[in-house]
Structure 1
Amino acid sequence: MKLAAFGDSITAGQYLQESDTYLHLLSARFGLEPINAGVPGNTIGQGLARFEQDVLAKRPDICIVAFGMNDHVNTAPEQAKTPLAEFRAKLASVVERLRAEGIAPLLCTISPIIEGDREAYYYNRHPEEWYRNPDGAQAWIDMYSEQIRDVAAAYEVPLADISLRWQRYVDEGGSLRDALRTTENSGVADGVHPTAEGQRLFAECIGEVLASRFPVQEMR
């Protein structure tokens, strides 16, 4: 069976070895043929522009869909790259096109960020004052995750709730500073891209859904 992962830099595994990516971990766990269709910087609209070539033409059996991190980014005060309603419509379009081709979709919510301040992390690159309604970039990300949950429910699509899995990780004593790239672990005040530990969290969460909702078996 072929497993595609369609998304942005997090799916691509930017700054990591291929062996650290969630797609590699999942493919090794279940003995699946991986198709990495993650492109750094992509919004869901940019993903749709390459959807035919990068996903549909390769005929995967299952396609993980993981967008939203770039879509929520504000380009002006309270103006996201992809407005919320447009994001939902395009995500629904991806689900419909996958199903029309006989490919099973699996949606993912969005991992958290380290917001920081003007000196470091997210607000060093994106003006904090642009994210006031709702208050804060993480709150914007959460709105997009909620739309992903709604589409999954409306279309009865399996959902890997990455957002909730990472929250549980923190509640159990884990730190975002271990799961995301920081000055301590990479020399860069990133706070968005997962480390190998963060990719492991993705793989655990998605793997639970694959094992329970799809005809796959773990390799022994």
Structure 2
Amino acid sequence: MKIVCIGDSMTYGYRVRRSQVWTRLIEDKYGVKVLNKGINGDSTGGMLSRFYRDVVENRPSDVFIMGGANDLIMEVSLNVIKSNIATMVHQARGNLIKPIIGIQPLTEPDMAKEQWSNIADFYRINNQLLELREWIMEFSNIFDVRIVDFCGELNKRINQDNKYEIYLDGLHFTPRGNEMMLDIISPLLRGI
């Protein structure tokens, strides 16, 4: 089994040692080959443009697709994001690769505003991430696509007391946050 994980900084593991990123933790825990094709700052359009090179040419059994937050920061419409994700899912299936969609976690708006100045309204982004989550769940039901709901699961686990242990800067996760991501994806990996 080989998984390619295509995404943005949440996949790449922004400012976290390679050995502490959730994709690497999957390899270590399950002995599965994982290619991390996350790029800091990437959009779903960027992911789609490199999908053939980064995913199809690597001939994985599965592809994990997660993105959208950077699109929202750049004020790309939800319809464009949905189209890009749907296209990647269909391209994966057309190449006999099983798709998995990751639903991105919410930002921590106050912390993000402190660290990232005024690049975006993170409350708006969270509302749009929730809309995107709803669409992904609907899309996955219609097209029978596996999902990992980091958004919903982490929302249950993150609170005022532990948010500084989980978030580096309101957008990205600490090593502890990456461990939580591994914990959330683990049931899916046990079933593959």
Q: TM-score, normalised by structure 2?
A: 0.91
Instruction: Give 1:184's aligned residue.
Output: none
2:70 alignment partner, SS class: coil
Give a deviation string over 1:108-145, Cα, whole Å, max 9, x none.
111121211896145x23254xx7xxx63321221222
Matches of 2:124 and 2:49, distance apart in 1 = 30
Instruction: Give 1:200's aligned residue.
Output: 179
Instruction: Give 1:163's aligned residue.
Output: 151
1:34 alignment partner, SS class: strand
Matches of 1:28 and 1:63, distance apart in 2 = 18
**Map of 1:90-101 to 2, 5 A cutoff?**
90-101=84-95
2:64 alignment partner, SS class: strand
1:116 alignment partner, SS class: helix
Query: Using a 3 Å threshold, how does the CA distance of structure 1 residues 118 and 142 change in structure 2: closer, same or farther?
Result: closer
Is the CA contact (8 Å cut-off) linking 1:115 and 1:121 kept in structure 2?
Answer: no
Task: Extract unaligned runs of 5+ from structure 1.
Answer: 182-189, 215-220
Is the CA contact (8 Å cut-off) linking 1:114 and 1:121 kept in structure 2?
Answer: no
Task: Extract unaligned runs of 5+ from structure 2.
Answer: none
Matches of 1:107 and 1:152, distance apart in 2 = 8
**Map of 1:183-198 to 2, 5 A cutoff?**
190-198=169-177
1:71 alignment partner, SS class: helix
Deviation at 1:168, TM superposition (A): 1.8
Instruction: Give 2:142's aligned residue.
Output: 154
Instruction: Give 1:180's aligned residue.
Output: 167
Is the CA contact (8 Å cut-off) linking 1:3 and 1:27 kept in structure 2?
Answer: no
Matches of 1:202 and 1:29, distance apart in 2 = 13
Matches of 2:173 and 2:112, distance apart in 1 = 21
Instruction: Give 1:186's aligned residue.
Output: none
Query: Using a 3 Å threshold, how does the CA distance of structure 1 residues 170 and 5 change in structure 2: closer, same or farther?
Result: same
Deviation at 1:175, TM superposition (A): 2.1
Which has a greater percent of helix? 2
Give a deviation string over 1:157-207, Cα, whole Å, max 9, x none.
111110111112126x862221110xxxxxxxx210111111111111112
Is the CA contact (8 Å cut-off) linking 2:69 and 2:125 kept in structure 1?
Answer: no
Instruction: Give 1:126's aligned residue.
Output: 119
2:23 maps to 1:29:
no
Q: CA RMSD in A?
A: 2.0
**Map of 1:94-113 to 2, 5 A cutoff?**
94-113=88-107
Is the CA contact (8 Å cut-off) linking 1:23 and 1:36 kept in structure 2?
Answer: yes
Instruction: Give 2:64's aligned residue.
Output: 64
1:63 alignment partner, SS class: strand
Q: TM-score, normalised by structure 1?
A: 0.80
